[in-house]
Amino acid sequence: MSSPKCKDPIALNLWYAIAPLEEVLDGKVERSILLEQPIAFTREPSGQIAVWSHDGDGARPVGASLPVQERYGYFWTTLGTPDADIFAIPEYDEPDRRNIHAASFGVNASAPRLVENFLDMGHFPYVHTDILGAEPHTEVKEYFVERSDERDEILATNCKFWQPMASRASSGGADVDYIYRVPHPYCSVLYKSAAIDPARMDAIAIFIQPITQESVRVHMMLSLLDDTSTDLDIRLFQQTIFGQDKPILENQYPKRLPLDPRAETPIRADKSAIVYRRWLSDKGITYGVIPAAA
């Protein structure tokens, strides 16, 4: 492999979900792109997944391969040498949950713009009208955001929003509790009140695979406490929601997330986004963002 197109050492040394396991087929070579680097993968006769970089022809250089891990229904790889493991989603292993791959979509937007959209409640009434929000219930109430340096992640808690139809399993409007985690610069996990068990929470994760600075493949995983809806219904619900965000994301300018605090105008509802932008700045991330001028 020649020197990588992506020059951001932090981005290079992260783990990325590339494809759901069910789409990695025996002997069939599939291609993908990670941080502008063409990669290919297959399932070997041994059952192991092999991933490698190539120059655009898909050919596998002898002996070359990238690290692989299977996690949360996807295989993950990296172009560098991560110093941390893939973040934990403990709920994934709870026996009574259904873990579902909703879809992987291509989006012409930067990865951090997707993360911010995922953290944002204020757009529900306008973008997910009559599903995740409806006018005049537009208020984003105060919530807490903390940045845990020890776990190196962002946590927003005590978030609440009134929703007409919070999930495939809900039967009417309700105030829904949310918790958001950003455990990876390009991944986020949210927890929201489960329709069937108010004491527990459904989890929805986005794992973003940057193709270029301004285009991505987003993998969506749900871990739900829903024993009535079919997998198909759940997947389609999530696809509908994401399909609504897509035209917004593709109409944001600039596409890369501006980290200069004076580039855009935050309000209190954007607290988590402000902390996220600072966190990216402090990490020194440059891929998919417009760094604040020093």
Within a 10 A sphere around the Cβ of 164, how many other Cβ atoms? Answer: 18
Q: Which does 139 bind (CB under 5 to 8 A by kind): another protein, Fe ion, none?
A: another protein
CB-based contact 185:145 (threshold 8 Å): no
**What is the per-residue DSSP string for 14-50?**
S-EEEEEGGG--BT--EEEEETTEEEEEEE-TTS-EE
Residue in 17, 35, 51, 107 binding another protein, rule: CB under 8 A: 107
Q: Using the minimum distance from each CB to another protein, give the nearer residue, 20 or 183.
A: 20
Instruction: Give the interface segment with Fe ion, choosing from 8-16, 29-37, 76-84, 242-250 (CB under 5 A).
Output: 242-250
Site string for another protein, 193-232 (x = CB under 8 A): ----------------------x-x--------------x
**Could you say whether residue 116 binds Fe ion (CB under 5 A)?**
no
Q: Give the one entry of Fe ion, another protein, none that residue 59 binds, where binding means its C-beta sits below a cut-off of 5 to 8 angstroms depending on kind.
A: none
Which range binds Fe ion by CB under 5 A, 19-27, 35-43, 47-55, 245-253? Answer: 245-253
Within 226-255, which residues bind another protein (CB under 8 A)? 232-233, 235-236, 239-244, 246-248, 250-254
Burial class (CB in 10 A: 0-12, 13-18, 19+), 59: exposed
Residue 52 Cβ vs another protein, minimum distance, rounded to whole Å:
18
Per rule CB under 5 A, count of chain residues that contact Fe ion:
1
Q: How far apart are CA 169 and CA 93, in angstroms?
A: 21
Query: Residue 106 has which token pair?
Result: 């291509």
Query: In sequence order, what are the beta bridge partners of 257?
Result: 289
Q: Which lies closer to another protein via its Cβ, residue 80 or residue 133?
A: 133
Rounded Cα–Cα distance for residues 219 and 178 (Å):
20
Other Cβ atoms within 10 Å of 89 Cβ, number: 19
- State both tokens at 204: 């929805």
Residue 269 binding: pick among another protein, Fe ion, none (C-beta 5-8 Å cut-off by kind): another protein
Beta bridge partners of residue 239, listed in sequence order? none
Q: What are phi and psi of 61, to 5 degrees?
A: -60, 140
Residues that bind Fe ion (CB under 5 A): 245
Residues that bind another protein (CB under 8 A): 20, 23, 31, 101, 103-108, 116, 120-123, 125-127, 135-140, 215, 217, 232-233, 235-236, 239-244, 246-248, 250-254, 258, 260-271, 274
